[in-house]
Chain A
Amino acid sequence: MRNIFAVMRKEFRGYFDSPVAYIYITFFTVLSTWLFMRSFFLVSQATMRGYFGILPWLLLFFIPAVTMRLWAEEKKLGTIELLMTLPLKDVEVVLGKFFASFLFLAVTLVLSLALPIMVSMLGEPDLGSIAGGYLGAILLGGAYLAIGLFVSSLTENQIIAFIIGVTITFLLFVIGEEFVVYNAPDAIVPMLKFLGMGAHFDSIGRGVVDSRDVIYYLSLIGFFLFLNVRSVESRKWK
């Protein structure tokens, strides 16, 4: 526990030791707010639905950018040799890195709370669906992070980690969309629909927290963290 926390602390501070974190957060907040506000007054409804509609697409690019350095940079600079010869279990390092990026995501989302506050001052939004939207964003973001972190462990090039991260995340997000499922054989349609990240996000975002959706995201996170441990482990004495 102490080890996970130590790694997390190191990685989280690592974001803020360079200007990168501030640039990410500013960019994300400004862009998401602007995209939301653009249509907010046109629709003139006190709802956050538009915001949670664009959020998965923004996170699609934002999150691989957050995770791309976590392993790739260690490999590039050789610090992985230092890290992996410390008395740390592989799973502790993976979890430490994951929670650091998770905390970073949480900080970013907290900064966007100005929007729901503004909306509730202007009207009477459905607070349940806003809370659901945030819960969905955290879960979806967590899944994106686990994918991005895993991809980062496969390469020492951050750009490659970013691009492959975006690609895998995108595929998993759209795999259940009507547009994709339309041409698929009937037999696998329910499976594709279940596997797609988008549908689960939408259903949580409606303010209906179904345990199946939560379990779906948690198992997706668990699966990619497991793959990550395995990919790190492969360089160790058995």
Chain B
Amino acid sequence: MIEVRDLTKHFGTTHAVKGISFDVARGEVLGFLGPNGAGKSTTMRMITGYIPPTAGSARIAGIDLAENSLEVRRRIGYLPESAPLYGDMEVVDFLRFIGTVRGIPQSELGPRMKRMIERCGLEKVVGRAIHHLSKGYRQRVGIAQAMIHDPDLLILDEPTSGLDPNQIVEIRELIKELGREKTVILSTHILPEVSATCGRVIIINEGTIVGSGTPQELSAGSDGKAVVHASIRAGSEKVIAEKLLLEDFIEEARWEGTTQEGLHRFSITATDADRAGEMLFAVIVKHGWTLGEMRTESVSLEDVFRKLTRGEAA
């Protein structure tokens, strides 16, 4: 559906996007994740034909943007960052304008608008001027205008920013539902959003792609390590640590204190993320220790994100 090759954008001496390449398959929901100012919006603006790239190319549904941006724009539904809408217009008039320009025949326009209004829950505000609406409603009007021509590809720049938790859930549900039949690209700097809605994630930092994969792949940890927290009852903490470090799969065993019940709490870094808990349990059994508690901490998406976007070696 989308092929992006070496897309680059310089603003004067600022290199906002430094050669990004990626593909998006039909029916995929792709999340752009990155801190503010990472180049997410700039990339989206290039794909939607709003600004030209300094170098690189993009094809959408097989059409080169540089050759026929008009045809590409016809196939995309776009919600720009912070949903800039014509504030003086009433919701219906605004949707009618977008629908007309999007080439929806006059006879179909009415039913189509009605469907969008229902789908985005705008029934209560149809006759109101857009600048009188709350942020949540404005965002929904923005999504309605992006979908009104039933595009194959939806590009949503921070669709949930500024919404309250209930609205966020609603919008996420809507995106998930859309993702069943359409290709969606959305950007966000909110991590749970990605795991909640996206099939695949691209992490962007300082204009380059620093990581990509499914949310599960990413949170499984980029280095395959896991941290196991275990409370063990046995002689002294020093003996336990020594014996633990004899095992190949254990890299580090840090003593974190002893509980009132005499359990020594350890934080153990193990190499085999999938089987670390299992193997540690076997070791404990082997030495005849008593296990008070054991918990494997999988590396969360948040850790991966922080690691990748802080420039630490991944």
Contact = CB atoms under 8 A, between A and B. Distances in A.
Given A3-B101, A6-B101, A86-B102, A79 B70 contact: no
Contact of B129 (A17, A78, A81, A87): A17
Contacts of B85: 79, 82
A176 B130 CA distance: 47
B31 interface: no
A14 interface: yes
A237 B52 contact: yes
Interface string A79-111: 101101111110000000000000000000000
A85 B76 contact: yes
Nearest to B48: A85
Contacts of B86: 10, 14, 79
Nearest to A13: B93
Contacts of A2: 100
Q: How large is the interface on A (under 10, 10 to 19, 20 to 34, 35 or more residues)?
A: 20 to 34
Interface in A69-83: 77-79, 81-82
Given A236-B69, A237-B65, A238-B66, A86 B88 contact: no
A78 B52 contact: no
Nearest to A79: B84
B50 interface: yes
Contacts of A9: 97
B73 A87 contact: yes
Contacts of A6: 97, 100-101
A7 B100 CA distance: 10
A27 to B, nearest CB: 20
Contacts of B100: 2-3, 6
Interface residues of B, number: 33
A89 B103 CA distance: 13
A235 interface: yes
Interface string B37-59: 00000000100111111000000
Contacts of A79: 84-86
Contacts of A44: none
B12 to A, nearest CB: 15
B300 interface: no
A86 B93 CA distance: 16
Interface of B: 45, 48-53, 65-66, 69-71, 73-74, 76, 78, 80, 82, 84-89, 93, 97-98, 100-103, 129, 145
Pick the 6 closest A-B CB pairs, nearest first.
A78-B84, A17-B88, A87-B74, A6-B100, A81-B80, A87-B73
17 contacts: A2-B100, A6-B97, A7-B101, A10-B97, A13-B89, A13-B93, A14-B86, A81-B45, A81-B80, A85-B48, A86-B73, A87-B70, A235-B51, A236-B52, A236-B69, A237-B66, A237-B69
